Amino acid sequence: MNTAALDAYWMPFTPNRQFKRTPRLVASAQGLAYRTPEGREVLDGTSGLWCVGAGHRHPRIAEAMKRQIDVLDFASSFQVGHPLAFQLAERLGALAPPGLDRVFLVNSGSEACDTALKIALAYAQAIGEGQRSLFIGRDRAFHGVGFGGLAVGGMVNNRRAFGAVLPRADHLRSTWDAATQAFVRGQPKVGAEMADELEDRIVALHGAGQIAAVVVEPVAGSTGVLVPPVGYLQRLREICDRHRLLLIFDEVITGFGRLGDMFAAQTFGVVPDMIVFAKTVSNGAAPLGGVLVKREIHDALMHGPAHLAELMHGYTCSGHPLACAAGLAMLDTLEQEALPARVRALAPHFERAVHALADAPGVVSVRNIGLAAGIELAADDGAPGSRGQRAQAAAFDHGLLTRAPGDTLVLAPPFISEPEDIDRMVGCLRAAIVDSAHGAGA
């Protein structure tokens, strides 16, 4: 592509000027790998962006979408409906932890986060507690880029330019503790008491009656994979119960198999009041997300004059027929190919493979759970993030797509990977880590 052809597209979350000087493009994909326009294979070490669990261009999903475009290409979900949206909602409700069987459909994780926050506010009003307008998020959390998600999110660079206009929020400390977790395998054994900050500081400071909801990712993904200590999420749940606080799990990354169950709520045995989902629900083949809501919350809002919408909220493409077709086909695929069980079976090999990188130059931490791992590199002096960027670029050149939030390389392979695919991916990562060890000019 010539330079002019790259100029018009303002790329999201990308250093545009740098990218356009040295573009790294992909042109097609199949199964576990992309191909560049020149035909070079690049393994998909991040399942696209944590979404292509079943592998690229899965035939069942592709067929379902092709069939759907010839039947019903678009139908609004405002005051009319089409069967697939209802089917999808019912299937999702049946897969979720008991009680979370009401589903609001949207098109992305960001929209899903903001939707959950609006439901929490509307619920507070509906039960006569409209003073509950404060949200509690967590440092280093990512809840998308809407104003609500940004407010509860804790990735400082994402907030800096917009902070002054965000809704009211306070933040728990992140669950990261370098002293005890640097090379932890799976869940850290210690640290559950970090959850007590919710009661000891946040409730004490603001008063429980001010708080609309507590929002956490069960495993913080985008910041570079931070795994909650054993018992931490249980403790959050107990504190929320004691103070009548809604607990929202953002499962945009963990939902639909990444940890070996449909939802992290099931992996950790903790039932939240709402689950936010997106990404893997459609295998990334169509924009789709949503919120699973406890029935009592939904029912509390089903009041007022019957001719008025109970929640003044929704998107033109909520319940889009193509997205629903992709979602239903993905749910079939997850079940028929037993993908969560495949993740559970592959996870021990994955864990051994990523932890073998501990001796690569400059690796200061490796952490993992399910098919997600963060491999953190020592930052260059005075230039946080630059080592990560170099390593990510080198990985692409070695044939692996990875992500580098800051100086952490993320590996989140598709669920259909085999042990030898994991070994190839980790081999590319090692080569990239070695290459990037020699400073910015190397």
Binding site for ligand PLP (CB under 6 A): 108-110, 113, 142-144, 217, 221-222, 250, 252-253, 278
Smaller CB separation from ligand PLP, 150 or 425: 150
As a whole number of angstroms, the distance between CA 402 and CA 399 comes to 10
∠ Cα 354 359 364 (to 5°): 80
Residue whose CB is less far from ligand PLP, 43 or 372:
372
Q: How far is the CB of 144 from ligand PLP (least distance, A)?
A: 3
Query: Would you say 281 or 360 has its CB closer to ligand PLP?
Result: 281
CB of 305 to ligand PLP, least distance (A): 33
Residue closer to ligand PLP, measured from CB, 108 or 402: 108
* DSSP state letter for 84: H
d(CA 329, CA 428): 32
Q: Which is nearer to ligand PLP, 246 or 437 (CB)?
A: 246
Cβ closer to ligand PLP: 223 or 389?
Answer: 223
Toward ligand PLP, which CB reaches closer, 44 or 380?
44
Residue 255 to residue 265: CA distance in whole angstroms: 9
Shortest reach from residue 105's CB to ligand PLP, in Å:
13
CA distance linking residue 56 with residue 370, whole number of Å: 20
Q: Determine which helix (DSSP H) or strand (DSSP E) holds 350, and give its type and residue range.
A: helix 339-355
Q: Provide the minimum distance between the beta carbon of 371 and ligand PLP in the complex, in angstroms, as a whole number.
A: 15
- Find the shortest distance in angstroms from Cβ 146 to ligand PLP: 8
Least Cβ distance, residue 302 to ligand PLP (angstroms): 27
Q: How far is the CB of 142 from ligand PLP (least distance, A)?
A: 5
Name the E strands within 81-210.
Answer: 102-106, 134-138, 169-172
**419-435 helix and 386-398 helix, angle to the nearest 10 degrees:** 130
Closer residue to ligand PLP in complex, CB, 138/344: 138
Structural tokens at position 289: 């997300």
Residue 277: enclosing H or E segment and its boundaries? strand 274-277
d(CA 318, CA 322): 11
The number of CA neighbours under 13 Å toward the Cβ of 302 is 6
Q: How far, in Å, CA of 236 to CA of 144, rounded?
A: 22
If the CB atoms of residues 142 and 350 are measured against ligand PLP, the closer one turns out to be: 142
- Closest residue to ligand PLP using C-beta atoms: 109
**Rounded Cα distance, 119 and 273, in Å:** 11
**What distance in Å separates the CA atoms of residue 202 and residue 227, rounded to the nearest whole number?**
22
CB of 258 to ligand PLP, least distance (A): 11
The CB-of-149 to ligand PLP minimum distance in angstroms stands at 6
In 229-329 the beta strands, taken as DSSP E runs, fall at: 246-250, 274-277, 289-293
CA distance readout (Å), 89 to 76, 233, 325: 16, 26, 12
Q: Which is nearer to ligand PLP, 146 or 399 (CB)?
A: 146
- Minimum distance, C-beta of residue 276 to ligand PLP, in the bound complex (Å): 7
Q: How far is CA 273 from CA 26, 189, 214, 215, in A?
A: 40, 26, 10, 10
β pairing state of 28-30 and 33-35: antiparallel
